[in-house]
Structure 1
């Protein structure tokens, strides 16, 4: 008798281990401050501010999230410095086990623009499927599914324009997930863009990964390749490094200063332009991120 299959990752999480390794914890685009607090009544507040090092523009938002675990309900409201209101309502495991429904809306009063995206998720042993309806754009109906068996993953996605009556986007993917490594191959953008990613937990303290991208419609041609690694110095600190085939080297360092306080620093160097006079010029970037979580 075969063992029950685990729930596979969703379509958007295929290759997540490699994407997080190569994309997160490199705050070299500016300075970011994030403050999180939690009330006894299950209301979580998060305030985020960001200063872009290239444009010197300052942006931010304040978010409040209320969770009713007994009834599987989550309500999130956010307000940005661009005067955009974001609202999310989520209901999970109430209609049926493994079913999650959520509605995401945005409203920009000054511009008079609005969006509404309705999502439905169903997951069970060996299956993870999602459906989304973009009410004001199209409307467009998007569906994806990932099936898993003994570590092997197969997924597909398609978007259908209800008004025009045609498929506007489709993609497919295959992968393999093991406890210590993962491989993912994806054909995206109507099978015009191909990506391959690899993640390996080399040891308890070291991770490594790589990602390659080939766009059949890109004018420059060739494959974009990026490789990176992450090493834990101790339980509270780690360093990251990555480099791509354009010669851009990125370094990241994250340190937990105390319980609930973490500082991260990022540096990006264009190794082909190391002689640039200004460290903040187009060839090099530095940044910092502070997170306070109570």
Structure 2
């Protein structure tokens, strides 16, 4: 097992993916990924929101220069927003990654930039981000330590424009060979716990709980994923609000994947509010 811990943002990711991925409620999506012989990657995504009757899309291009450790990405969306990312992983410093993100919206003239650093080695993973805002930079930093499966992490954010903390989060947990337990306390008010268990090669189970210390609100969810013999994926989830979600993903042929999902409001079967979703992905 790798001794390199995940970044703070990826703690509990296995359980979150069971609840979030492959669910496209209320949307019709189309995606296309392709790669040229020279290694340039293109990704196009389009989405139509059935509830808001709104269509959006984006085009992303990624170019890698492996000899120099450089990756450049550029994306446009239907809001005419241009986003760029320049990532550099120096060969001389193993585990270090430097990233510069920028965003420009011509209609309003808004510009933003973010500089990110990540350094990961055995037992430690460190992130630092700086958002360069017109009103003043926003700093964020996070560190995760791991030893023999046990890990602990802390994340802090500070806004210089109003001299206030934007994040004050603590996480602890254990990552085993086939299960992960993660507990996070966000802003000393929101306690989140997740459990992920890979029961077999075909079955995964996840549990998620959330308790707000200030409002005493409680949420509870259970999710599962089962891989059929033909490679199709069946997912289901339910929460204490009576919402039942289901998703089915099937590979129609090489490079073509179909996803169907639905959300049933269990407490309001007759009142409606149920949602359907569909996504088709092409990859070559």
Tell me if structure 2 keeps the 8 A contact 1:214–1:224. Answer: yes
2:213 to 203, 211, 216: 216
Match of 1:67 in 2: 64
Tell me if structure 2 keeps the 8 A contact 1:5–1:126. Answer: no
Q: Distance in 2 between matches of 1:202 and 1:138?
A: 48
Instruction: State the 1:41 CA deviation.
Output: 1.2
User: What is the alpha-carbon root mean square deviation over aligned residues?
Assistant: 1.5
Match of 1:251 in 2: 246
Match of 1:206 in 2: 203
**Runs of 4+ with deviation above 3 angstroms:** 162-168
Closer/same/farther in 2, CA of residues 87 and 234 from structure 1, 3 Å limit: same
Tell me if structure 2 keeps the 8 A contact 1:5–1:150. Answer: no
Match of 2:146 in 1: 148
Closer/same/farther in 2, CA of residues 81 and 131 from structure 1, 3 Å limit: same
Instruction: State the 1:236 CA deviation.
Output: 2.2
Match of 2:173 in 1: 175
1:102 is aligned to 2:120 = no
Match of 1:291 in 2: 281
Please report the TM-score for the alignment, with normalisation by the length of structure 2.
Answer: 0.96
1:113 to 110, 119, 126: 110
Closer/same/farther in 2, CA of residues 28 and 5 from structure 1, 3 Å limit: closer
Q: Distance in 2 between matches of 1:270 and 1:165?
A: 42
Match of 1:196 in 2: 193
1:272 is aligned to 2:262 = no
Q: Deviations over 1:110-142 (max 9, x none)?
A: 011111110000000010110000011631111
Secondary structure at the counterpart of residue 117 of structure 1: strand
Residues 73-84 of structure 1 aligned to structure 2 (within 5 Å): 73-84=70-81
Please report the TM-score for the alignment, with normalisation by the length of structure 1.
Answer: 0.93
Match of 2:50 in 1: 53
Instruction: State the 1:240 CA deviation.
Output: 0.3
Structure 1: give runs of 5+ residues left out of the alignment. Answer: none
Instruction: State the 1:40 CA deviation.
Output: 1.0
Instruction: State the 1:166 CA deviation.
Output: 4.9
93-102 vs 57-66, which moves further: 93-102
